[in-house]
Chain A
């Protein structure tokens, strides 16, 4: 059995439908990861709560996201949509990574900056909002961008909890038509079509922010 171009073209719309779900899950999950990760990075600096938060997210970071997905999917009441579960789990998982990025960004702000803030008696909100975060953000944009691409490439896991993303579609097509070649190859190409240009953009950003 060989490559069947006509069949390949006929399944493109279905796969693109899946790709839309994939991108949806990535974008929303990423926003969750960005916000939650920042909260985690700040909470880790708090006495008593900090170490607990660290251990919990270290556990999340070093265990497979696939197992976490299956686990939450099995526990959640059937009324919760699989896509919601998928986005939440991906978001929390990646918060463990973004928190580390924020942490290194915050620690990368020179000690003298904190001291200058104290010398000017700036209120905490200004210290964080006007001095520390603006400087930290510049350093964290490239690594955070890399995690957006990583997350995009982790969304196929959602197929394991019946979310109709691209991999789910490909598998469904394969089972139905007894042909897997075209669906999986196209899925792979679609992934490349999104992630390679994104990676190029991220590297540009990286160079631009490194230059300043």
Chain B
């Protein structure tokens, strides 16, 4: 039996636009993953604790508010602080290209821009997480 990939989709900070997060969550479910959606307006600290308790393999953050440089990096710090190791950190939303590099230098494996096919993201996750889980 292939082990399930567990993904946390979270929205940090004061940003109520979660259509994108929901679409991605549903797409990952359809790709066979177990997806936990936090709902909107979570703090980086909460997201880190939730990721720990849910023992997820992937944390995907969504932001359309422009606060990604602060909030996303804060989530990465809190994950380390609560002792949540070995997690694939992804971002999505309105993130200018010049910020992508900064986020990648701060713990993010990939940032997906608007218009990315959800299948592309799902395939990326599977290719990164399956070897870790020991799935073929």
Whether chain B is bound by chain A comes out as no
